[in-house]
Structure 1
């Protein structure tokens, strides 16, 4: 019987994880940066320019949105600490996406390194 940690370890062995320094260049070069965290996590702060497609919906969204049809898209994925991103990268590779990278350490490592963080502004009702 496998645990979630076993699945993540196997996924990390199959994926291309990049460190924070390499992540900045990969993000600049990417066609899309996908945050696979839940919407409330995304709303609390995310990498500027990222789109939010939660891990549980990833395969379905990729299959239904024409902008993600090309299997040659340059994709950078991240989550909180990199487990969900590794699982997502494997799923995308299984779907035929050839240029998928995930950020080692995820959003927590990005923020801890002092990299830019976007937070949606709430409308002022005052």
Structure 2
């Protein structure tokens, strides 16, 4: 098996060293704040199975760079709003990499440090689709 130059765990650790991480309790306190947008990077099946943060925007991980770029044909207006963006995934790995990438693009964002799994553990509010 070929050894990688940089493991995925190392990539996540490097990202976490240079991005803003939001603790779960602090994020729960921000639910309903009109100046905050939670962005859920998880697969749609994860959202359907486990639920989601009330009012969160769903953006598949593979589309985020295109959705935040005003010059992209896939641009979404929500990302042009003057609000605080907090990204999350299940465990905080995908969101750490995402926020580091967005930071490289000049987009200001933070991420939920321990992800949605910790949100559930902390009894954060959850909505489910029927």
Both structures adopt the same fold (TM-score exceeding 0.5)? yes
- The match for 1:20 among 20, 24, 37 is 24
Match of 2:116 in 1: 107
Deviation at 1:79, TM superposition (A): 0.4
Question: Any idea what the Cα deviations from partners look like across 1:53-107, whole Å, max 9, x if unmatched?
Answer: 011111112221133135x531011100000011111122122123x12112100
Deviation at 1:50, TM superposition (A): 0.7
SS at match of 2:38: strand
Match of 2:127 in 1: 118
Which of the pair is proportionally richer in helix? 1
- Unmatched segments (≥5 aa) in structure 2: 70-74
Contact 1:26/1:76 (CA < 8 Å) preserved in 2?
Answer: no
Match of 1:57 in 2: 63
Matches of 1:46 and 1:35, distance apart in 2: 8
Q: Where do residues 65-76 of structure 1 align in structure 2 (5 Å cutoff)?
A: 65-70=76-81, 72-76=82-86
- Unmatched segments (≥5 aa) in structure 1: 122-126
Contact 1:33/1:75 (CA < 8 Å) preserved in 2?
Answer: yes
Runs of 4+ in 1 over 3 A off after TM superposition: none
Matches of 2:77 and 2:25, distance apart in 1: 31
Deviation at 1:29, TM superposition (A): 5.5
Computed over aligned residues only, the root mean square deviation of the Cα atoms, in angstroms, reads 1.6
